[in-house]
Amino acid sequence: MMRLFDSHAHVYDKQFDSDRDSMLKNVFRTVDYVVCPSENVETSRQTVALLPCYAGLYGAVGIHPHETKNATDEALQEIANLAKSDDKVVAIGEIGLDYYYFYSPKEIQKIWFEKQIELAKELDLPIIIHDREAHGDTFSILKKQASTKLRGIMHCYGGSVEMAKELMKLGFYISFAGPVVFPKSSKLKEVAKAIPLDRLLIETDSPYLTPPPHRGERNNPSYVRFVAEEIARLKQISVETVVEQTRQNALHIYQIKK
Ligand code: NI
């Protein structure tokens, strides 16, 4: 029996509105744990509301870089309150920088990334980072914010091996999602192969980024097994080893007590 841990799935997403409960019940037959990150105050509330319903469901609250143009100090306070409201909130996220879509201006994104890092340190929680085409600024902010309290996860990693090494030194785990399974992702596969298994996580980013053989369908946390299988193939180790080690890593960084 697989004991998978999907470290990142947006299960509150409206794409699950018609069948969320049956989808999750089905997921928890093969997946032990799912961490659901949020995008803004509203989805953070939705995440927290779902936590009591499923033993294996944990959450993160935060403001996604896309949403930072609407962020306020009141919103940040509400994120802090939600983080403190339930022990199953295990991280601040997803937060970071997105210079691909630029839905929010660069300077605004940076301000809220830092404010939320400071909140995470204050609450002694790890952070879940979204970094799209913003490697340089993401890294310099993390370096500036480095402390014994700073730690977290690089979600859906898309950077280089060199940067991953620096991030691991700062206390970060490197997480891979569906794109590592895509046949064309040769560079990403090389990066995944080079990351030590004890610093690696797997995720789906559901409902997005569906891996083969299900491309074109809605993603769900049970498909994290295809990410585990690809990592096993790349590293030439057993799937069971990948599943067990990534599970231990995720339990450790999210400080979930079994
Ligand atoms: Ni996400």
Does some domain include residue 258? Answer: no
At residue 4, what are phi and psi to the nearest 5 degrees? -75, 155
**Residue 139 maps to which CATH number?**
3.20.20.140
Which of 141, 239, 256, 145 is CA-nearest to residue 197? 239
Q: How far is the CA of 195 from the centre of ligand 1 (A)?
A: 21
**What integer best gives the mean pLDDT of the chain?**
97
Q: How far is the CA of 238 from the centre of ligand 1 (A)?
A: 27
Q: How far is the CA of 169 from the centre of ligand 1 (A)?
A: 23
Does some domain include residue 58? Answer: yes
Q: What is the predicted pLDDT for the residue at 258?
A: 73
Q: What is the predicted pLDDT for the residue at 1?
A: 55
Q: How far is the CA of 128 from the centre of ligand 1 (A)?
A: 9
Does some domain include residue 182? Answer: yes
CA distance from start to end of the chain: 17
Q: Is 19 helix (H, G, I), strand (E, B) or coil?
A: coil
Which of 151, 131, 149, 139 is CA-nearest to residue 253? 151
Q: How far is the CA of 208 from the centre of ligand 1 (A)?
A: 8
Q: Are strands 31-36 and 4-6 parallel, antiparallel or unpaired?
A: parallel
The total of structural domains in the chain comes to 1
- List, in order, residues 6 or more apart from 124 with CB less than 8 Å away: 149
Does some domain include residue 129? Answer: yes
Q: Which domain range does residue 84 map to?
A: 4-253
Q: What is the predicted pLDDT for the residue at 227?
A: 98
What string of DSSP letters covers 65-129? GGGGGG--HHHHHHHHHHHHH-TTEEEEEEEEEETTT-SS-HHHHHHHHHHHHHHHHHHT--EEE
The list of the chain residues with pLDDT below 70 reads 1
